[in-house]
Amino acid sequence: MISIKNLNKIYTNEQISVHVLKDINLQISRGEFIAITGSSGSGKSTLMNIMGGLDSNFTGFYALNDVDVLSLDDKKISFIRNNSIGFVFQSFNLLKNITAIKNVELPLIYAKVSKRERSSRAFLALKSVGLEERINHFPNQLSGGQNQRVAIARAIVNNPDLILADEPTGNLDSVSEEEIMNIFLKLNKMGKTIVLVTHNEEVLKFCKRRIVLKDGIIIRDEMR
């Protein structure tokens, strides 16, 4: 599903350039549940952004579902982002002034799905994360774990085959953390490929493969 070969990423500002990812080689198959870990600044989010098609400013090769991402124009990349990838972030990234169900409908609006189908699909996505009784709540009326479940519902509503989650439990207590990880586990069992960034040992236990980044280099890649 993901094929990365000799990928290098250098951030350049006016004064300095930082070599953040160094000759990364990584193959991820469909259906994997993989964690990327490593200390702060090791390049985890940079790698996730590239995998998610949010950053095309790199050298080397990256193919997602056999499509060479660097060969695509912005329009094609956004299409892939909207249809094949679900993103989950540490800080939820929900819109505060609209309800849970309206947040979940957003990707369907971009995908030009009809209004009626939008609300039924958003409802089903919220139901699948156990929030069918909270669909009309606003983000500030929900707990952290519930907000993250809304964010997961939003990530899966387009039925993507790849879910990218950057520290999805970083802002949560241990009970919510376990709930969220069980949802990822369920999604993985349904066939979704999950790539998750985490520092947390409890979270790592859920993942079947672990990659450790250090200073932009993969220093470990192990199955458990």
Ligand X SMILES: Nc1ncnc2c1ncn2[C@@H]1O[C@H](COP(=O)(O)OP(=O)(O)OP(=O)(O)O)[C@@H](O)[C@H]1O
1 and 161 in contact (C-beta within 8 Å)?
yes
Residue 220: how many other CB atoms lie within 10 Å: 11
Least distance from ligand X to the Cβ atom of residue 51, Å: 12
Q: Which residues bind Mg ion (CB under 5 A)?
A: 45
Axis-axis angle for helices 100-110, 115-128 (nearest 10): 130
Least distance from Mg ion to the Cβ atom of residue 216, Å: 13
Partner from ligand X, Mg ion, none contacting 18, C-beta within 5 to 8 A by type: ligand X
Instruction: Please give the Cα distance from 30 to 139 (Å, whole number).
Output: 33
CA-based R_g, the chain, Å: 17
User: Which residues pair with residue 103 across a beta bridge?
Assistant: none
Partner from Mg ion, ligand X, none contacting 67, C-beta within 5 to 8 A by type: none
Partner from Mg ion, ligand X, none contacting 40, C-beta within 5 to 8 A by type: ligand X
Establish if 192 lies at the interface with ligand X (CB under 6 A): no
Which of 1, 22, 41, 60 binds ligand X (CB under 6 A)? It is 41
Least distance from ligand X to the Cβ atom of residue 9, Å: 8
Nearer to ligand X, 92 or 123 (CB): 92
DSSP element (H, E) containing 61 = strand 59-64
121 and 157 in contact (C-beta within 8 Å)?
yes
Which of 37, 45, 169, 176 binds ligand X (CB under 6 A)? It is 45
Least distance from ligand X to the Cβ atom of residue 76, Å: 24
Nearer to ligand X, 45 or 188 (CB): 45
Count of residues touching ligand X (by CB under 6 A): 12
Rounded to 5 degrees, φ, ψ at 55 are -140, 115
SS in 3 state form for 103-150?
HHHHHHHHCCCCHHHHHHHHHHHHHHCCCCCCCCCCHHHCCHHHHHHH
Partner from ligand X, Mg ion, none contacting 170, C-beta within 5 to 8 A by type: none
215 CB-side CA count, 13 A: 0
Task: Give, as ranges, the residues between 9 and 38 that touch ligand X (CB under 6 A).
Answer: 11, 13, 18, 20, 38
Nearer to ligand X, 46 or 188 (CB): 46
Contact set with ligand X (CB under 6 A): 11, 13, 18, 20, 38, 40-46
